[in-house]
Chains A and B, each alone.
Chain A
Amino acid sequence: MTREQAATLIGERFGMAQVDGTSPLVVTLPVDQWVSFARFAKDTLGCRFFAFSTAVDWKEQGLEVVVRVENLDTQIALLMKTRLGAGISSCPSLAPVYRGANWMERECYDMFGIRFDGHPDLRRILLADDWEGHPLLKSYAVDTPHPPYR
């Protein structure tokens, strides 16, 4: 399967998706197609390698979740993006589809406060369990004091 074939297939199956670029194929999706597209990518397109999952804080426009998966045999890389909308911080979880999403989504929750529905074990991973605030949001200052340590 080539990239062009993959792009046409995506366009057929997921009409509302927006496909740009060649490598990686950047697919911008609405949130409700998130998990079904991930399953499609894994089963049909053969993208079984889960590279990473992260989020971006676009201030007034809200949060965006970005996932990259790859087909190691045919070198098709998909960058899946979805905008959660202003003020919304919940997103369906890809952990049932890709096991690598488990820790990556825990990190997104830790850093951005995005609650992933369907995640088996959503708790903070990098910061302590009783930490207040989600640091990578643009509203969080980088040098927030934390007495007595800083």
Chain B
Amino acid sequence: MSTTTENKGMAERGMGYGLRALNRLAGSDLLDRIRIRKQVENALFQGTKNGFRTATAAGRTFKAAQSLGKPARQKKGKSTGLFDLTPDDEQQMFQEGGRAFAEEKIRPAALKADDERETPKEILDQATELGVAMLGVPEELGGVMTEQSAVTSVLIGEALAHGDLGIAYAALAPGAAATAIGLWGSAEQEATYLPAFTGENVPAAALAILEPRPLFDPFELETKAKRKGEEWVLTGAKSLIARATECELFVIAADAEGIGPSLFVVESGAKGLTVEDEPAMGLRPAATGRLLIDKVKLPASALLGEGGMKAKDYAACVNRSRIAWCGLATGTAQAVLDYVIPYVNDRQAFGEPISNRQGVAFVVSDIGIESNAMRLATYRAASRADRGESCAREAALARRLCSQKGMKIGSDGVQLLGGHGFVKEHPVERWYRDLRAAGVMEGALLV
């Protein structure tokens, strides 16, 4: 969905603005005088192309491989019963791989990706090589993790988001759909969809829960699934989906008649699905889009799980998503801390580094304290999820922390750099925009 840099602003405002402005612009000799008519016309062309709704991606055919008869599940994690903050060897391996990737590839690509609203394919491919799409795929279906991997997913999300939160979202989003199917799908659904996530050519996919309205509550969905004989008919809209136009598979949350909030597996070719561009203040490398669901007919087998989802499983899904966003927020909060420390130590004012002043130094202390707490709260919630313990309380509290303190950290990061923080020469303004997402997003990622 990217457009070229110079005409981007116009293109993104979409059709409404474009049409309203068209007459005024076309009649203006200002354009000719400053010789940008060609560019503006191009912008309008792009705006038209992208601002209109587009069909969802054509998508591959998902075919059931040999079904296992009963659903494969990753095992629950075990605890030694001791308090421990050290990741195990496998987790350290993922963490180190993620950190190196973030530092060498993601951070250098972040500015351009944010600007162009596109994550380079090379980076997405490398993330796939790191295994991010199959963390939630059971071993029997080609996955690599025998045990549940919420903590591992958090550690990877944290590492990637230290590079860039928006790119991390773009890279991790397909894995969310796979993890949902791996956790709650029927044997048939697992056999049909999961093999695609274990190869090299992983499909773009999305876990679509968030809806476009204020005070959204994932337990009060406006997207409805009505029964029609053996079939389901879905209607509604889903917001801020990563790489929406590319997605070949959607796992969509809808209020299912007679069941309540449930997930439906929908292939992108389904009739009645359209995608609308939905640019936001942040998450721009993920090329976010809105999915419009207009009386989409689905077979009974589209309902995730054998005979649908239990209420507690849907709640677990919502909580695991919140934990995933907390992981990303923690990584970016750490990026802010790591960035401001050398800056305030170097920056001189009144004849000495500004960090020699408590008014500056104490802000750095608070970033350190709150980001550390965000991390611990997120780890606690994730480790409880891995062991199959209730994690609603811990996920909710981690989310409050990551939403509020994360936002504050984003703001302080810009503040400490002053005017320099407000311009794109430094990444802190991007982190300011991205960190706000942690309290807004529901679904979309899953640990």
Q: Do A and B come from one complex?
A: no
A interface residues with partner B (beta carbon < 8 Å): none
B interface residues with partner A (beta carbon < 8 Å): none
